Structure 1
Amino acid sequence: MLIAFLAVGVGIVSAEKPVSTAEQGPVEEFRLAADDPTNAAEFGRSVAMDGDLVAVGAGGADAGPVSNAGAVYLFKRQGQGYIPEAKLVAPDATDGAEFGRAVAIQGNTVIVGARFAQVGDLSKAGAVYVFKKYQGSWHFEDKIVSPEPADEDNFGRALAVQGNLLVVTARKENLNAADVGAAYVFTCRGGEWTNTAKITAGDPTPGAYFGQSVAVRGGLIVVGARNADPDGAGAIYLFRESSEGWEEIAKVAPPDGKADDNFGFTVAMAGDTIAVGARRADLPGAKDAGAAYVFSLHGNSVDLVTKLTAGDARAGDQFGQAIALAGDLIAVGANRADTEEGADTGAIYLFRRAGNRWTEAGKVTASDGVAGDEFGYSLSAFGNRMVTGAHTADATAGAAYVIPLRS
């Protein structure tokens, strides 16, 4: 049954302010925040951008009378700024569901992950909610659940959509052992999403968290498993669609990986480029400074192009917490980078491609950033703009920033 969803005013947008950059040049940020902020809402825990629409997840926001259920706030571009479009909440909201922990946009459709949503008698199995806009307002369309639901599976922790294909991960699903993880492929036919495949690692290992991240492009799915072997450094798995379903064509691990690097914590794809975040990779004298790896895809072959690190890397920065590709730019979030404003203010590093070389082209920080904001926690890019979350800004109410990228 179709349930109409009421759009309500949801945000205040600050005046545009300059962003600190290294070589990026003068740009203007646009700050987004909810007009019903609450402590621990964590507005900015997830972000998505497509066309003129920006979605910001707040996994701890209130949903009407249900506290801490989570919400997604939508903003629409108007001129050089953004205005509130709607606040989306689950029609069956429950306390602690973390609705908005993941979010994706495709045209007039917004898809939201709630990794602890209730499914039947299971209080924390996780689910994905689909909303569409028509006749000027947003409507709830569908609730997608795992065909094999179980509590604490984290179904909906990560998701990716392209055309009529949706991939939803359950990074803590138990297979042969605890927290091995899985991903589910759904296909939209006649307006309904149907599960058509289940994807798992060819070498499943306990605690691998297969499904920590996911990206889709063409007939290719990339799934990150942040603790996969060898050595628990993490890995990404590539699956290509064939007449027989989804076939694993490659497993890629960092050549210099060590336990707890979190390689595969984040992943992004564009063209033949795959960028992978390893937020806890150690650098000489800088534990957990973080790194990102860039790979080139040729057929079923995945080749390492380069390893990216911050020019001013410090211990604990978590460079690689978030990652996004925009043309010849890679943006990497380091949410715990220290700045002049204090510890864990956060920063985003930009890398530009020239031929086969990627070089650091800028460092972006929030003009109003303060200690503990964690700017750069989440990232999404579209065209010549990106959006990032600072989910612990404003006493954990959170904030997000839309930032133009110089071409």
Structure 2
Amino acid sequence: MLRARLIVSILVAALLPFLTAWWIANTYVDQQSKANADTRLTFAARSAAREASTLLAATRRRAVTLARSRAFQRAAANRSARGLRRLLRPGETVTLPARKGAPVLTVGRPIPGVPTVSVVVASPGGRLATVAVSAPTAATILARARAAALPGTPDALTLVRGATVTAGPVSLLRGALGSDGKIHARGNAYRAETVTLPGYSPAARIAAVADGTYPGDDTGPLRERLALAALISLFSIVLYAAALARPLLRGLSRVASVAEQAMIDPLTGASNRRGFERALRIELDRSTRRNHPLALVIADLDDFKLVNDEHGHTVGDDVLITLAERLQDAVRSADTVARLGGEEFALLLPETDLAGALAVAERARSSFERGGVQLRNGSTLTVTASFGVADFPASRDGAALMQDADNALYNAKRLGKNRVIAATGAVAA
């Protein structure tokens, strides 16, 4: 029966870690997949933006080339609309300023909705003309950018003007770029990475877009392998548990017994000095890393020798047990109550400053004095204790913390016992 209970206990104990590990692994896979998708989208958006910038640079070069053309400059100087039209391509315009009674002359028309690059042509007499060349259309930019940035991927490219998708796949047109960084269109949310394009007003951005469900689509086979590995491991645990239940039970019993003997004071049930020193090292290291306070309280029974002399060691043991109980009642589950030896106890209080430790010590002191010790004959014996308090990092390390708390305890004894004294000597609870 005991063996069956042990097997069941092992299975129950093993199931939760395996489920947790499986969940963690799946979460990690999803996060990695999403991170990879974000990286891919960021690269695609930047590559597309570079391609768009290249196209805009080519537009500027065209405007400069046209402005430097001798044929263009002659036609502009002669204000020849026909000559200028022969030189212009679709989307290019030339504006000649008013001169000697002649009105402003504009030849050509820009492409609506796209930015233009303007170049001013100067002459000795002042401005000769202004050349404006329209940049490629959104469809052209996206087609060139997709060929350069997204070969072989399911992602899409869109052009976002303001917060609205104005060019791209039909399913995304008129979608909105939300504050969450996703594009919302027709009830769906799509992961997106955007890069701002120069020269557009209102602002325009290239957005590389992936369906919000896409990053996890390729993780199904990996999830299945993880689940299979978990089931195989769990089945192996069942076999080993069935075969080794008895020796495992004996081993656990021995380990528990040895651990208890090594770390617990057998009389009071509090930690012994070895357990306290281990806890002190751990908490000091944690407090140092996190820059958090740590307090130490050392308590010592007043006139304990007289209790033993007048009432016997059995009553003395009852006093020690009662003090340990009062100390345990005064602290949290995360705190450590330890018997350092004889009638001396310690409270290790993580995340507690000096003022908080003084309050804990005073609560324990007054509870111990007020409640007394219930003797086995039914009477109550009033016994008191003195307390010294120190804190880290005011005390620079473990040795200093112990020494400062011990000095404070000495001052409490010297000042009349049954009191709480801080290591500074400035505060008495």
Give the TM bin, normalised by the shorter chain: under 0.3
More helix by share: 2
More strand by share: 1
Larger Rg: 2
Using the size of structure 1 for normalisation, the TM-score is 0.20
Using the size of structure 2 for normalisation, the TM-score is 0.20
